[in-house]
Every structure is written in C-alpha cells, then in structure tokens.
A and B are shown apart, each in its own frame.
Chain A
C-alpha cells in the first residue's frame, strides 16, 4: 500500500502526490507509477512529468473523463511494484574540475574547510541520483547520499555560465545544458552535451538514472569536446550494482 493523493491541476492535468520529502524511495514510486502508466494504452493520456514527490499527468479532457482517469491512476498508484532501491542506469560524465572550468571550486573548498582535491574526490566518489529534469531542457536535479556539502546557492547568481557547467549546492549537483544564469556553485565543466538535438532522443539523462562524475584533464576535455561536437562521443553506461 502507498500513501498518495490525487488532485486536479487546472482542467487538463492531475497530480499524484506521494510523501512530502526528497528521498529515493519516494522518487522511485513516482518513476514506477510513470512506467506503469506508460506501459498501458490509455486514450487521451498526455505527458507525464515526474518530480521529487509527484507525478503530473496531462490529459485531453475531450477524450477522457477525469474521474475515470483518476480511478485508473489510483489503482496503479496503490499497487506499485517494490523498487529495487539501488537499481538504475549509471551514466559516466567526464568533468574537468577547477580553474576557469570550475570558478567556484576554491570557494566551495573554503566553505567546506577541505582542500579542492578533496572536494573533487567527494564529488566524483559516489553516484548522484537524478530526481528529475527541468528548469531547462535536459537539466538534471541530482543528489548523492554520501558526504553532502553544506554550501548553499551563491548569494549573487552568475548571470552567464557556459553549457556543460557542473554546479553544486548541499547534496545536489546539476549540469547546465547551454549558456544561462545559475546560482549554483560551478566546480567543473563537462565537455559532453546533455542535450543534442541532432539525436533522435536528444537527452542524455532521465529521472531515475544515476550520474557518476569522472575527473579528466584539459587534453582529454578537448578531445571529448571535439568528439561531442561531431556527435561521436558516447558516455559509458552500465546497470548500477553490476560492477564496472
């Protein structure tokens, strides 16, 4: 049994809310419900948008009755398969840390009272779970359970950071898809593209994936960036817990 609430969101969407907390257990209910609904042919069902604790379900009111949809959703949400809590796909993201590629690494190190090398070791030393994508196309909100930082967002956001910037705040880590403002502390840059519209599925990540950051040096950064721009670079992917 799961605790959940179904509420209307405007006249063409419903939200299914699980426990009001950020946790992998709750997030995995959200993605499990998403997968359940996607595996059925429900006429009039629109997009599904998973977030920390809620699944937003768009529908076409001209094709499906909202009460009928709510009943279907309620049955599915009450009977989710138990999640194997460590499963999921790990995507390896190469990151060049520090210097002009990670202008806030020194600040983060100072705030955490650690050497910059130790910050890099912590950030690249455990998998980050992708709770959701949003804010901008392909932009992940990911977090790790191990050794969270205490630093929060910058008091003054940077008005422009380049695409590929890897930002952190507390236990969270993100990747900026293209040049835009950010308030997160930029500690590195990845040479890969988190969204590449030339691909049939333009997005590198989805909710429920895991990110593993892999430190690289400048020459490797340039090599990967060149391959990525040609559309030839593929990130290493493996099932979590399968060993590497």
Chain B
C-alpha cells in the first residue's frame, strides 16, 4: 500500500448523504415533527399562490371566452347635472368608427313594467325592466339562448319578447310560448337567454324589438346603452373616438366603459388578500426553520459520543460539519416536499370545489422547495459548526 496515496481522510459524496440520514432514521418521530413546521409553512404558501392562480386561470379563461373588446356607451350628465341622452342614430354612428366590428343597443322603456299576468298586483313588478333592443345585440354581448329564439326582423315588429335569465326565473317561465304583460299589453315569450357575464344588466330585462316598441310604447329611438365590439388592438383607439363620434356637440355627455374591467378589478382585490396570506405563510416558514435549528442543536448535544467516535474513525471537522449540515438540509427538504404536496392537494381540492382549473405554477413549487433548502442551510449552519467543534475526545470521556 502506498502511504502517500492514503494520506488524507476522505468521505464519498454518497456517504455524506447516507450519514445525513442516520439521525433522521434513529429518531423518525422527532424528524417528522420538526419537518412539520416547514411543511406547514410551505403548504400554506403554495396553497395561497395555487388557489389565487387557479382562480385567476378561471378568470383568464372567462375573459378570453367573453373577450375584453366589448365597450359600452351610455349617456352621462350634462353640465347642469341633468341626465343626458344619446342621439337617435347612435348605433349607426358607432358602426362607422374605424375598427368597430359589431354594434347593438338597448333602450330601457321607462314606465313599462313587467307582469306575469293581469292577475298580478300592479305594485309587484319584480324589479324587472323592459327594453327595446336591436337584433344585433345578442351577438355583440356574446349571449346564448337557454331556449327558444332571439328576435329577428319579423318578431321585432310583433309582440314577441325574449327574457333575460333572471327575468325568466322571477316570472317563473321556463319554456317559450307563455304570455306575459308589458304594461297592460300581452307579449309572447319567444326565447330565454343564458346569464350574460359582460352585460348582467340585461339578465333582469325583458327585450322586445324596436319596431314594436315604437308602435306600442312610443319608443323615440334614443338608446340608453350601446354595446360595441372591435378588434382587440383597436379597443383603446375606439374608446377615444366614441364620445366625439356619438355626440360631436357634447362629447363630455357620453360615458364609455369596459365591462371586462370590472372582472379584472375583482382579480386585483383577490391579489391584495393573497399578499397578506403569503406574509403569514412566510412567518410559518421562519418558525419552521427555527424548529429545525433547535432540533439540530439538541441532536448535536445528544450525539457528542457519536461525533467523538467518528473523529476517532478519522473524520475531519469538515466531515462532521457536512454530515450535520446534510441532516438539516434533508430535514427541511423533507418538510419542503411534504409541504409542496400538501399545498398542491389543498389547491386542487379548493379548485375542484369552486369549479376552477387547478393551476400551481411549477416555478412556485421549485421556489418553495428551494426556499426550504436555503432555510435548512441557514438553520443547520450553527449546529453543524458546533458539531465540528465537539472535541474528538468526547467518545472516551463519557
């Protein structure tokens, strides 16, 4: 044997890992309990991020299905604080704006109340309103029919009515063919809409054609809301142009809004809450790290003899240090992986309950487990240094 060859103490990488597990295997309960702190912290953070991103994924899917290119035009107030009106040919003008692909309008018919039949008390109109709408409205707001048909050029001239989803519910109508009263006149239900996410105001409205509205209720052709869709890249430009196009004399009396902004605002509110929960999760993680450090310090004190023995077997201080550092890393990685699994599980349960897609960003999982390794390294450093300083004579002096 060449004495120069075996001059140095050596510890193979595999063995460092193996030694790192000895303490954990010797006291599994303690290992599990001290990893639990880290697991809870990571689980909380991943669940918070996962739930928030799952609900966002749902919202994104919703927004992309609904489109963010719908703008509404409504009359505002004039300089004296009085309610303004939109001009009669607003839909036509909007349709001329460069980039506008579809336009439609609804005009709430003031004073026209809706009743199931003539037997209903006149005071109980159920909060429903009637509106004269253009035939193009359904496509513009992306509406779909639960049953029956939308208004067409023929039915727009006759006493035919399409119900919003809530209006149908309140009137107790589920099939077409029923008669309802608008004011004192009977109209036949020809269709019922599904709920409209971007135009929820239409859900409580019963809709009739403009022609029949003009004939029977004296509709003056001035819409109360104009709905418009353009190509996505033209939305902002169209938004700028709309007030002056609709009412060149008084563009300040025209209000343009984007219904999808309301949904996005809800998302921003969720994110503020997420930030708070993330803060709580990181406190849990910190406490978990302190737990690991504590366990490791106790472990080092208890294992003085083992350390002494290892020094007698030829371990250098560095070998002892890396053994205990590895143990701390494994301990917190154990917590991290368990926490990531728990967090993902919680996310998928919450997502399933709310009918969201489960979306845990992989980079969040990686960051979570990575954070536990950093915590393990910091938590293990001091105990490992203490272990390395344990005098080699400890195996004998017991």
Asked if A pairs with B, the answer is no
